[in-house]
Amino acid sequence: MTDSLGHVRELFLVNHHALPPLTVAIAVGALLPKALASSHWAHRTPRTALVVWSVLALSLITSLSLAFLQLLLPAADSHQLSRFVESCIFFDGADCPPLPLNSPADAGIRVWAAFAAAAVAPVAFTAVLVREFLSAKRRRARHGELLRLVGSRQPELRATVLQHDAPAVYCLPGRAPQVVVSSGALRVLTEQQLAAVLEHERAHIAGRHHLLIAAAAAFGTAFPGLPLAHLVRTEVPLLLEMTADDRALRRCSRGTLATALYVVASGQAPHSAVAAGGPSAVLRVRRILTPHATSSPASWRAFAAFPAAAALTLFVMACCSVPGITDWPSK
């Protein structure tokens, strides 16, 4: 094969390794999320759905990273990288070929550019995540500081009470987590309703839900415009609410929890602006009131979805790192 022919061939072959991760990125970034959001089992089994959303998000970051890497990497180096991964990582370093890669001199920069491009998605997400954690932590610290000054600890409720007419119940997660109830909420809730509401908030604290919510918010910010990012941002908090509802339902009746939700919501001054989580409360109440919506075992699809998503991720990794699979288009 002549040199010029080799170059032409390389031009056309440069991108073929980028196709599997790109396909997965499109699938998990745009197609699967819509299917998952409109599926019936997700809200029935919120814990499973949360795992699936997390796997989709991680798959997107991984596949984007690999796609960028392969788009910029010359085909020859791409193959060598595959061999490097195979022999140095999978087979304990026997016959480890050297990196940096032995491509034509001008391609050296391209290799480093490819590695830099591969880092873009994970680094961007990590940066937004750290910022999100820190700002949430700062807001919580400020809130907790004022709360300590004006709230009164009620050991028999295991909660802090704020003197205010509007009914409000929330939890302040973090290092010194606490459940906060306004005096307005104590006034409108019955004893059973209050117990249900407190149980719901304690489930948030026990499950450390704030970490997942921060991660979902960061994911939404890091990949704007992507259907997966938008849906992770709205679905993850809703699914966590449902998880906490389920936990509260172990201790109280469906009617108690549903009416408690209504009593707190209707007691607050109506907010005519578009509320961020508005319709979610309606979904939650309908779900709480429908027995099979919370207690049925996960459907076969719920169990199939997780291994499928995991297998998809493994497939991408394999396609980009095992020569036996990846060499077929160039031979």
Partner 1 sequence: MRRLGDLEAEIMDRLWRWDRPATVREIVDDINRIRPVAYTTVMTVADVLHRKGLLRREKSGRAWLYEPERSREEYTAALMQDALGNTEDRQAALQRFVEHMPPDDVSALAAALRAAGQIPGSDEEPGALS
Binding window for partner 1 (CB under 8 A); candidates: 19-27, 31-39, 256-264, 314-322:
256-264
Cβ atoms 129, 218 nearer than 8 A: yes
Q: Interface mask (CB under 8 A) for partner 1, residues 127-156, using x and -?
A: -----xx-xx--xx--x-xxxxxxx-----
- Using rule CB under 8 A, residue 210 touches partner 1: yes
The distance of Cα 292 from the centroid of its chain, to the nearest Å, equals 26
Binding window for partner 1 (CB under 8 A); candidates: 38-46, 88-96, 273-281, 310-318:
273-281
Residues 284-313 interacting with partner 1 (rule: CB under 8 A) = 285-286, 289
- Using rule CB under 8 A, residue 265 touches partner 1: yes
Least separation in angstroms between residue 202's CB and partner 1 is: 11
- Using rule CB under 8 A, residue 209 touches partner 1: yes
Q: Which of 6, 97, 104, 279 binds partner 1 (CB under 8 A)?
A: 279
Least separation in angstroms between residue 185's CB and partner 1 is: 8
- Using rule CB under 8 A, residue 201 touches partner 1: yes
- Using rule CB under 8 A, residue 243 touches partner 1: no
- Using rule CB under 8 A, residue 172 touches partner 1: yes
For residue 203, count CB atoms less than 10 angstroms from its CB and return exposed for 0-12, middle for 13-18, buried for 19 or more. Answer: buried
Least separation in angstroms between residue 222's CB and partner 1 is: 14
Whether the CA torsion 117, 122, 127, 132 is positive or negative: it is positive
Q: Which of 121, 173, 302, 313 binds partner 1 (CB under 8 A)?
A: 173
# chain residues binding partner 1, by CB under 8 A: 72
For residue 298, count CB atoms less than 10 angstroms from its CB and return exposed for 0-12, middle for 13-18, buried for 19 or more. Answer: middle
Nearer to partner 1, 101 or 172 (CB): 172
- Using rule CB under 8 A, residue 263 touches partner 1: yes
Find tokens 């998880």 and name the residue.
243
Task: Give the C-alpha separation, 4 to 59, whole Å.
Answer: 38
- Using rule CB under 8 A, residue 158 touches partner 1: no
Cβ atoms 147, 172 nearer than 8 A: yes
Cβ atoms 20, 319 nearer than 8 A: yes
- Using rule CB under 8 A, residue 229 touches partner 1: no
The distance of Cα 224 from the centroid of its chain, to the nearest Å, equals 14
Nearer to partner 1, 5 or 273 (CB): 273
- Using rule CB under 8 A, residue 226 touches partner 1: no
Cβ atoms 224, 261 nearer than 8 A: no
Q: How many alpha carbons lie under 13 Å from residue 306 in its C-beta half-sphere?
A: 15
Instruction: Return all residues near 331 (Cβ < 8 A) that are at least 6 apart.
Output: none
Q: Which of 27, 56, 67, 169 binds partner 1 (CB under 8 A)?
A: 169
Binding window for partner 1 (CB under 8 A); candidates: 49-57, 95-103, 188-196, 292-300:
188-196
Strands in the chain per DSSP E: 152-154, 159-162, 169-172, 178-182
For residue 274, count CB atoms less than 10 angstroms from its CB and return exposed for 0-12, middle for 13-18, buried for 19 or more. Answer: exposed
Least separation in angstroms between residue 324's CB and partner 1 is: 44
User: What DSSP element (H or E) covers 174?
Assistant: none
- Using rule CB under 8 A, residue 166 touches partner 1: yes
